[in-house]
Amino acid sequence: MTARPTLEKVAERAGVSRATVSRVVNGSAHVTPEIRAAVLRAVEELGYVPNLAARSLATRRADSVALVFSEPPTRVFSDDPMFPSLIRGVSRETEAADKHLVLMLAGSPRGQERVERYATAGHLDGVIVASMHGADPLPAVLARRGVPVVCSGRSLTAGARGAPPCVDVENVRGAERAVEHLVTAGRRRIATIAGPQDMVAGIDRLTGYRNVLRGSDRRSIVAVGDFTRESGIAAMRQLLRDDPGLDAVFAASDMMALGALQVLRQAGRRVPHDVAVVGFDDVPAASYAEPPLTTVRQPLHRMGRELARLVLTLASGQDPGAPVILPTELVVRDSA
Amino acid sequence: MTARPTLEKVAERAGVSRATVSRVVNGSAHVTPEIRAAVLRAVEELGYVPNLAARSLATRRADSVALVFSEPPTRVFSDDPMFPSLIRGVSRETEAADKHLVLMLAGSPRGQERVERYATAGHLDGVIVASMHGADPLPAVLARRGVPVVCSGRSLTAGARGAPPCVDVENVRGAERAVEHLVTAGRRRIATIAGPQDMVAGIDRLTGYRNVLRGSDRRSIVAVGDFTRESGIAAMRQLLRDDPGLDAVFAASDMMALGALQVLRQAGRRVPHDVAVVGFDDVPAASYAEPPLTTVRQPLHRMGRELARLVLTLASGQDPGAPVILPTELVVRDSA
DNA sequence: ATGCTGTCTGAGAGCGCTCTCTGCCGTTCG
DNA sequence: CGAACGGCAGAGAGCGCTCTCAGACAGCAT
């Protein structure tokens, strides 16, 4: 049962040498058609499947990449509805390249160390770090160890020489579009629920908001959240206290926007009549919120794909090229 | 940089043999304290990390398990908010056991084959198949190949000898609780949006509904969906047509319940005043629906953990024991 | 002293694969 | 017609680790 046939067996059966079988199996060059056919037949008959560990040992490649979530796992995997799409995108590319995808949750220091060890152990051709936190030390640590690393979201320390390549979205532009939409609709007192200011996405989206307001004659009204729904609730309450007359809110994440929606409803404000709300991310729940949420879409799936592509090129020793910046898109629904 | 130190180097440095270093590294038995210390020092100084491929080749273990989603990936990973929790649960156990988690999406035939090959290639100690579809051939195929497999959700063909062990939840009981809650509240015309009848969860939850109605003097009103929100919308419309006088709905999934909520709102029915709604799953969005959804909670995280535990015991050659059936719990919020 | 047990270490044979190197052949060129 | 060439198969040396086996040596009883 567990006695899988080896190259040796196949070679014997096909009446050739191990090396030849290896050539055929790896689809490589110059093998006479008849011999190739004989080998393939033997492979078929024996149900031969190469032992990956042995191959990996001999080639010093691993044929797999890791996707690590470098956040406290609770947060990432329950509250944040964006990761599934990202995973799917990554998975799609890795499968196309016939690589395997190892998932690692590295929220704790122990987790970090695990990732480090695993990568160092040569079981990984590359690592994708999906941590939105700019100050995360993991990418740098891995890079220093010689492991190909790419990041989702521009690192806070980007620009520094040797910073890992990354895939990011047009956060500033997206936020600008959202706020412009509000301005165009004639909203006068446009507040924002900003994201955490230690994350690039948080910073950039606030910048976008400020850019537009500066260009119009409106003043900014800011509360800061951490992208979660709970923080959105708290921030919205704060905003209502600070400026009861506000007529629009741009939330830097959909989850915060959803929280805001709830608070507004409880406060008796009609959305969008009294207060317009725009979110950011376009998570699935945005489309079936009440009212459906106008938001800025991030191409998560595509990000995942690019991330995978990037790490794969990097792993193959090629130049990853310039950072990939993906476009965002305003999706207008009913909330604004 | 890439020249990682080998056991050999460490042995040399510590002035012992390879075997001894191996013993120390693997924490195994009888090694004199001084020698152990010397080895550890050498390991430290050289920054030694064992090469997993080599170990795997020598031990014929892989130290990793796969979590495979055997559904068309689009559906699983965008619409279904339950998988993240499951993943987290699995991940937690595998990390605790110092195993690695490989994620595979096997929606397509090609994907299935990949999983099969990979498992057969000896790169996996075990496989967790998270397919809710009862008729999925993958578990059986793998089992026949001698790969330890566990399933989430009782297989439709369960009971058959040699069926892989599984982790399931009390679907029938959960559904009963939900409907009992509705009956107790004095609802007279209780409809259900059932799940797909080729999945155990779909079947069992409908059974639970029927059990309770049979016990009271109410007749059943059934529409069938496929657990998605869209299908919930369609089913709710159907139900409203079939019996405009209904005063309660039990949906076999939260996503369908969310869809139903939307339809009811559009139809001008107040929830829970005119129509009470109960869902199933307790996805994150349930708690912030409008109104917050009363639902039956599945212990997803725990399911993940149990799944991992099960596959790990199975992989270690031990008896997995009886199928694990996890309890469900009625979470009463505002919608019923 | 001798033999015995028992603990600890080293030697060495793999695990299954890849890949370089060498040798063989048939072809083409000087 | 012999030499040089080029395509193709085989031999064999690892890749880095584990693990069995046997040897060395200490401690104890005889």
A109 CB-near residues (< 8 Å, 6+ apart) = none
CB of B121 nearer than 7 A to strand C: no
User: Does the pLDDT at position A76 exceed 80?
Assistant: no
Global confidence as pTM = 0.90
Residue B226's nearest CA partner among B204, B206, B205, B199 is: B199
User: Under a CB-based contact definition with an 8 Å cutoff, are residues A71 and A132 in contact?
Assistant: yes
Average pLDDT, integer, range A306-311: 95
Residues of chain B with pLDDT under 50: 1, 74, 76-77
Task: Tell me the CATH number of domain B171-297, given options 3.40.50.2300, 1.20.1260.10, 3.30.70.100, 3.40.50.300.
Answer: 3.40.50.2300
pLDDT confidence of residue B133: 65
**Radius of gyration, alpha carbons of chain B:** 25
Return the SS3 of B281.
strand
pLDDT confidence of residue B316: 85
B87 interaction partners in chain A (CB closer than 8 Å): 77, 103
- Closest residue by Cα to the C1' atom of nucleotide D7? A30
Question: What are the residues facing B37 on neighbouring strands?
Answer: none
Which two structure tokens, joined as six digits, stand for B1? 């940089």
User: Does the pLDDT at position A77 exceed 50?
Assistant: no
Cβ distance B78 to A51 less than 8 Å, yes or no, reads no
Quickly state the pLDDT bin for A161 (edges 50, 70, 90): low
Q: Do domains A64-169+301-326 and A171-297 have the same CATH topology?
A: yes
* Nearest CB to B121 within list A51, A67, A101: A51
Which two structure tokens, joined as six digits, stand for A71? 């956040």
pLDDT confidence of residue B76: 44
Average pLDDT, integer, range A306-331: 90
Quickly state the pLDDT bin for A159 (edges 50, 70, 90): low
User: Under a CB-based contact definition with an 8 Å cutoff, are residues B267 and B192 in contact?
Assistant: no
Quickly state the pLDDT bin for A140 (edges 50, 70, 90): confident
* Nearest CB to B103 within list A49, A73, A101: A101
CB of A218 nearer than 7 A to strand C: no
Cβ distance B288 to A56 less than 8 Å, yes or no, reads no
Q: Which CATH superfamily is domain B7-59 in?
A: lambda repressor-like DNA-binding domains (1.10.260.40)
**Helices A83-96 and A300-315 sit at what angle, rounded to 10 degrees?**
40
Average pLDDT, integer, range A197-210: 93
* Span A258-280, pLDDT tens digits: 999 999 999 999 999 999 999 99
Quickly state the pLDDT bin for A316 (edges 50, 70, 90): confident
Average pLDDT, integer, range A92-98: 90
CA of A33, C1' of C22: distance in angstroms: 23
Q: How far apart are CA B24 and CA B17, in angstroms?
A: 11
| φ, ψ of residue B33 in degrees (nearest 5) | -50, -45
pLDDT confidence of residue B323: 83
User: Element (H or E) spanning A222, and its range?
Assistant: strand A221-224
Question: Does domain A64-169+301-326 match CATH 3.40.50.2300?
Answer: yes
- Which window residues (31-60, chain A) lie with Cβ within 7 Å of strand C? 48, 50-51, 54-55, 57-59
CA of B32, C1' of C8: distance in angstroms: 8
Q: Which of A126-140, A250-264, A300-314, B97-111 has the lowest mean pLDDT?
A: A126-140
Average pLDDT, chain A: 88
* Span A58-69, pLDDT tens digits: 988 888 999 998
A244 CB-near residues (< 8 Å, 6+ apart) = none
Q: How far apart are CA A103 and CA A118, in angstroms?
A: 12
Domain boundaries, chain B: 7-59, 64-169+301-326, 171-297
Choosing among B65, B98, B100, which should be mutated to test the A contact, i.e. which has the most A CBs within 10 A? B100
pLDDT confidence of residue B317: 82
How does DSSP classify residue B199?
Answer: B
Residue B150's nearest CA partner among B113, B111, B172, B124 is: B124
* Nearest CB to B88 within list A67, A77, A111: A77
